[in-house]
Structures are given as structure tokens and as C-alpha cells.
């Protein structure tokens, strides 16, 4: 028998090593969802659960986008975390029920675990992000206070790519390089901003100080805010006058709620329809800068 095993080793047919699968290790490996199942000897199951978690998480994000009830929205936010927990529990069961004389498969190697997870990471995630994130729903991390007080710095917003914003709605604006000389702003680089759609094609718009007129009628703007903060992107008095000008076809005029701060149509000009990247519907998550903590009162909050 020993001679046979020696011959197998020499010929490259070494008998697979027998090693018990430890449930605790399977749970720890489930930090990367699906790897616990793969460790326990269930390759297909692990891959399937990982892909399912990605799909279900995106579906929850889509439903969250349309959910009016805040409590229901918070529950939907918990779906990915609940999925990870259930996958970890399943990995524990798979390892516990595995035969004690389990023979290691080819994928029961550290390099295989890492390779399989990286393959899933660069295929399933980007594909879902491309098809769903680009065309249905996406998240946007706020780094500017140009929309205070409705939207705060470090808010994570939900962008509905299926809905085109109407007048008064908050929108994602995508713009290219647009130089514009101002007192404190010499160049706008390529990027994205969040602004409120104020007027649309054919409307005549005029700004006189803090008053905005559309087609000769003064807008009632309870959301408008005029901060005293001084910054390198401060509108100041030079932006207190605009128009009257008629908005061309397929173009829009957008303003930040914080009228003294930010980048909007006063700098970017009229926004082409193709530059409107979707309607901002909710705060997905928010972080309190002053207290360095989560702002639970803003989580799943609808925006208008």
C-alpha cells in the first residue's frame, strides 16, 4: 500500500488530503459572501449565493427608490446585511454537515479562494453596476454644501435614472469642462453636481437679487438658502442678476438651494437634456460631520 501511494505521488496522482471542514472557519470566510460554502466543498453553491446577493441587493435598491414609507425604506436598506448573515449561517451548516473524511477539492486552496472571489468581484459587480447603476438606480456621495439645507455634505443620495426631473425637482447634472471667469472661481473642471431644476424649455428666466422669476412670475422657494460662508466657490453679488433670457429647446436652468455657494446654471449655463443624469429621490445614508456619526433621522428620507 505504501509503495502504491509513493508511486501515485511520483506520477502526480497524489491522493487528495482528508481534512475536516470547521464551521467556525466557514463563518469567518463568509466575510466574503460565498467563500464559506466554497471552503465547505460547495463551489457552485458559493458562487450562486454571491451572485444572488448582488442581484437581490440591487433589486432592494430599486424598490427602496420608490418606497414612500420611511420604516419600509430602512428595512430595505438592511437587505444586503441580512443576506450576508444568512449566507454565513448557511456556510456554517454546510461545513457542519460535511463528511468528516472530506477530501480537499482543487478549489480548497488559499490561492483558489482568492482567485474565485476576485473573479466574481470583477465580473458580477461591474456587470450589475453597468446595467442597473447606469440605467436604473445609482448612489451619489455629496461633497459640497451647495444644496443645504435639503442635502448635506456626506449624504449618500439615491438617483432615479428612470425618472426625468420636473420643475422643482432635484437632479443630478453632468457637465464637461466649462471655463468661466468670476471673482473667486476661474475654472470649472469636469464633474457632476446636484441642483434643483428651476425652469425648462421655452421658459423665460430672470434673477433679481434673491428673487427668481419664471415667465414673469416670482417663484415661491421655501428651499432657497443664503449662507454667509466664504469659500473659493462663492457666488456673491455678481451672480445676483441674470436675464431675462429664454431657455432654448431641450435645455434647463438649475440652481443650488444654497444660492451663495456652489456650481449651477449661473456658471454652467443652460443644461442640455442629455446632461440631466436622473432625479434625486432620497437620502440613502448620512454622516454627521460635527459628531462623526450616522444621522439616523436622515436615513431613507425622501427629498422634494
Q: Report the SS3 class of residue 167.
A: coil
What domains does the chain contain, in order, with CATH numbers? 2-133 (no CATH), 137-302 (2.10.109.10)
How far is residue 105's CA from residue 5's CA, in Å, rounded to a whole number? Answer: 18
What is the Cα–Cα distance from 110 to 214, expressed in whole angstroms?
Answer: 64
Question: How distant is the alpha carbon of residue 160 from its chain centre?
Answer: 11
Strand boundaries in the chain, DSSP class E: 137-141, 155-160, 170-175, 191-199, 204-208, 211-214, 217-218, 241-246, 251-255, 271-272, 276-288, 293-294, 301-302
Work out the angle at residue 15's Cα, subtended by the Cα atoms of residues 10 and 19, and round it to the nearest 5 degrees.
135
DSSP bridge partners of 302: 282
The model's pTM is 0.77
Supply 151's cell numbers.
442635502
Per-residue pLDDT of the chain (304 residues; tens, 9 = 90+): 344 334 444 444 556 799 999 999 999 999 999 999 999 999 999 999 999 999 999 999 999 999 888 899 999 999 999 999 999 999 999 999 999 999 999 999 999 999 998 998 888 878 888 888 888 998 899 888 889 889 998 899 999 999 999 999 999 998 765 444 443 333 444 578 899 999 999 999 999 888 999 999 999 999 998 877 544 344 555 567 888 999 999 999 999 998 887 788 888 889 999 999 999 999 988 877 666 778 888 889 998 8
282 close to 66: Cβ distance less than 8 angstroms: no
Show the CA angle centred on residue 45, arms to residues 97 and 93, nearest 5°: 25
Beta bridge partners of 208: 211, 241
Amino acid at each position: 500500500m505504501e509503495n502504491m501511494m509513493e508511486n501515485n505521488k511520483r506520477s502526480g496522482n497524489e491522493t487528495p488530503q482528508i481534512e475536516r471542514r470547521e464551521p467556525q472557519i466557514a463563518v469567518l470566510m463568509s466575510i466574503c459572501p460565498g467563500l464559506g460554502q466554497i471552503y465547505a466543498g460547495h463551489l457552485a453553491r458559493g458562487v450562486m449565493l454571491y451572485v444572488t446577493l448582488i442581484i437581490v441587493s440591487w433589486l432592494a435598491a430599486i424598490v427602496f427608490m420608490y418606497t414612500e414609507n420611511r420604516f419600509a425604506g430602512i428595512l430595505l436598506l438592511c437587505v444586503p446585511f441580512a443576506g450576508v448573515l444568512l449566507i454565513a449561517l448557511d456556510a456554517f451548516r454546510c461545513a457542519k454537515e460535511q463528511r468528516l473524511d472530506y477530501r480537499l477539492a482543487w478549489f480548497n486552496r488559499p490561492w483558489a479562494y482568492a482567485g474565485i472571489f476576485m473573479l466574481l468581484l470583477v465580473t458580477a459587480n461591474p456587470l450589475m453596476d453597468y446595467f442597473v447603476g447606469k440605467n436604473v438606480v445609482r448612489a451619489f456621495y455629496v461633497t459640497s454644501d451647495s444644496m443645504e439645507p435639503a442635502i448635506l455634505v456626506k449624504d449618500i443620495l439615491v438617483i432615479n435614472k428612470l425618472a426625468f426631473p420636473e420643475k422643482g425637482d432635484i437632479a443630478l447634472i453632468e457637465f464637461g469642462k466649462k471655463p468661466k471667469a468670476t471673482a473667486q472661481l476661474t475654472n470649472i473642471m469636469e464633474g457632476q453636481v446636484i441642483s434643483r431644476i428651476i425652469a425648462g424649455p421655452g421658459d423665460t428666466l430672470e434673477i433679481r437679487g434673491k428673487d427668481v422669476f419664471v415667465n414673469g412670475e416670482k417663484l415661491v422657494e421655501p428651499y432657497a438658502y443664503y449662507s454667509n460662508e466664504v469659500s473659493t466657490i462663492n457666488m456673491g453679488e455678481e451672480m445676483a442678476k441674470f436675464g431675462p433670457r429664454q431657455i432654448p429647446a431641450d435645455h434647463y436652468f438649475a440652481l443650488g438651494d444654497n444660492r451663495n455657494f456652489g456650481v449651477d446654471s449661473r456658471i454652467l449655463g443652460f443644461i442640455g437634456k442629455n446632461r440631466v443624469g436622473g432625479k434625486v429621490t432620497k437620502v440613502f445614508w448620512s454622516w454627521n460631520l460635527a459628531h462623526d456619526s450616522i444621522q439616523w433621522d436622515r436615513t431613507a428620507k425622501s427629498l422634494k
